[in-house]
Structures are given as structure tokens and as C-alpha cells.
């Protein structure tokens, strides 16, 4: 069709690596719309949809929600936004998510922003966050880390093999991380 495809940047990184925090900064400076897959799923639980209980149980166990559910929410949010530049935060989380998104939307990411952070630091951040998230307890955090290593890192490796990963040291203070992120989003001058 003749419609121009939107620009998508996938923002990936372990639980608590700072994806949401840095996306908020990027939105302010670069005019993207931030879509957190986790936030969309949590909103879906709150809305009382028929999938709500299933999603809630999966998040509580740190498991990855079936891609058709997540992709539908992402597509609707993209349409509703009126924008054509998106930060998709926390998705795709496994190979199946990745392949399904590309097959359904025909969109390939411009690049993948990857926040690299040691587990001890991510754990500290999540445990001191206190936003009432049902998955922010030590049992679920351990499960989230395991799923990240086993299922999500391979997606980062896939895009790395295509030269699409921009890796950022996310263990530094928020403003220092953003300096690096800013440089990645700023077009190079000749």
C-alpha cells in the first residue's frame, strides 16, 4: 500500500535497566511517542478486559504474554497516537514476539536501543521503586531475570547480528546515561 511506514525504535534491557526512565527523556527531546508494552498490558488488566486475568497471572510469574495480545495493544496505541515515530519499550521479549511483530506489521526497527546493566543494580532499583507493581517482589524479580537471559537477550543478539543494536552502559546515573542516548538519536553532521 502507499502509506508510509512509521519509524520504530525498540528499547530493550533487563527489568529495571531504565527503559521507561530514558524513554521519557527521549520523548521530550526527539518527538517520539513512548509505548511501553508492560504499561499497555497493565492498563489492559485495569480496564477489566476478558484477557485481564490471564495477563495478570503471566506478569505475576514474569512470563511473556502471547504476542497476539501485545501486538494488538501496540497497533492500537500506534494508530491512536497520530504520530509516526515510536519508542517500543520492553518488546519484543522473545523470538516469537519479534517474528510475529514483523509478520503482522511489516515494520522493521530503525535500530534497537539496548540498556546494559548488571543484575545487582537492576534488583536494587526495582526493590526501591515502590510503585505497587505486583511483579516487584524478589521471587518474581528472579523469574523476570531468568526469562530476560533465556528469551529476551537472544532477540538483542539477533538484531546485533544485523548491525542494529546501539548498546548503552545503563549502570551510570540517569543524566549520564541520557547523554549517551542523546548522541545516538542526534543525526550526525557532515
Report the binding-site residues: 16-21, 42, 63-65, 90-93, 97, 129, 133, 144, 172
- Give the nearest residue (CB) to ligand UP5: 38
DSSP states of 146-163 as a string?
HHIIIIIHHHHHHHHHTT
Restricting to residues 74-133, name those near ligand UP5 by CB under 6 A: 90-91, 93, 125-126, 129
| R_g of the chain computed on alpha carbons | 16
Annotated binding site for a ribonucleoside 5'-phosphate: 42, 63-65, 90-93, 133, 144
Interface region with Mg ion, contact rule CB under 5 A, candidates 9-17, 20-28, 50-58, 107-115: 20-28
Nearer to ligand UP5, 2 or 131 (CB): 131
CA-closest candidate to residue 41, choices 87, 76, 6, 15: 76
Q: For ligand UP5, which residue of 6, 7, 21, 116 counts as binding (CB under 6 A)? A: 21
Measured on CA atoms in the order 98, 65, 139, 36, is the torsion positive or negative? positive
What count of other Cβ atoms lies within 10 Å of the Cβ of residue 183? 11
Using rule CB under 6 A, residue 16 touches ligand UP5? yes
Nearer to Mg ion, 89 or 98 (CB): 89
Using rule CB under 6 A, residue 144 touches ligand UP5? yes
Using CB distances below 5 to 8 A depending on partner kind, what does residue 64 bind out of ligand UP5, Mg ion, none? ligand UP5
Which grid coordinates belong to 150? 533465556
What count of other Cβ atoms lies within 10 Å of the Cβ of residue 99? 14
Distance from chain centroid for Cα 133: 17
How buried is residue 80: exposed, middle or buried, by Cβ count under 10 Å (0-12/13-18/19+)?
A: exposed
What residues form DSSP beta bridges with 12?
A: 114
Which residue carries 538483542 as its cell? 156
Residues that bind Mg ion (rule: CB under 5 A) add up to a total of 2
Nearer to Mg ion, 17 or 67 (CB): 17
**Which residues of the chain form contacts with ligand UP5 (CB under 6 A)?**
13, 15-21, 36-38, 41, 58-59, 62-65, 70, 90-91, 93, 125-126, 129, 135, 144, 173-174, 177
Amino acid at each position: 500500500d502507499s502509506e508510509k511506514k512509521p519509524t520504530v525504535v525498540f528499547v530493550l534491557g533487563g527489568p529495571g535497566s531504565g527503559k521507561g526512565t530514558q524513554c521519557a527523556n527521549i520523548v521530550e527531546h526527539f518527538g517520539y511517542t513512548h509505548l511501553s508494552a508492560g504499561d499497555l498490558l497493565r492498563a489492559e488488566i485495569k480496564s477489566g478486559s476478558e484477557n485481564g486475568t490471564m495477563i495478570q497471572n503471566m506478569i505475576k510469574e514474569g512470563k511473556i504474554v502471547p504476542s497476539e495480545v501485545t501486538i494488538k495493544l501496540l497497533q492500537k496505541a500506534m494508530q491512536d497516537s497520530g504520530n509516526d515515530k515510536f519508542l517500543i519499550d520492553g518488546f519484543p521479549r522473545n523470538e516469537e514476539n519479534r517474528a510475529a511483530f514483523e509478520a503482522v506489521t511489516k515494520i522493521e526497527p530503525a535500530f534497537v536501543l539496548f540498556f546494559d546493566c548488571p543484575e545487582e543494580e537492576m534488583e536494587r532499583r526495582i526493590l526501591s521503586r515502590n510503585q505497587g507493581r505486583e511483579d516487584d517482589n524478589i521471587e518474581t524479580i528472579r523469574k523476570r531475570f531468568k526469562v530476560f537471559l533465556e528469551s529476551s537477550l537472544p532477540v538483542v543478539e539477533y538484531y546485533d547480528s544485523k548491525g542494529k543494536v546501539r548498546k548503552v552502559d545503563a549502570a551510570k546515573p540517569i543524566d549520564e546515561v541520557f547523554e549517551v542516548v542523546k548522541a545516538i538519536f542526534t543525526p550526525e553532521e557532515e
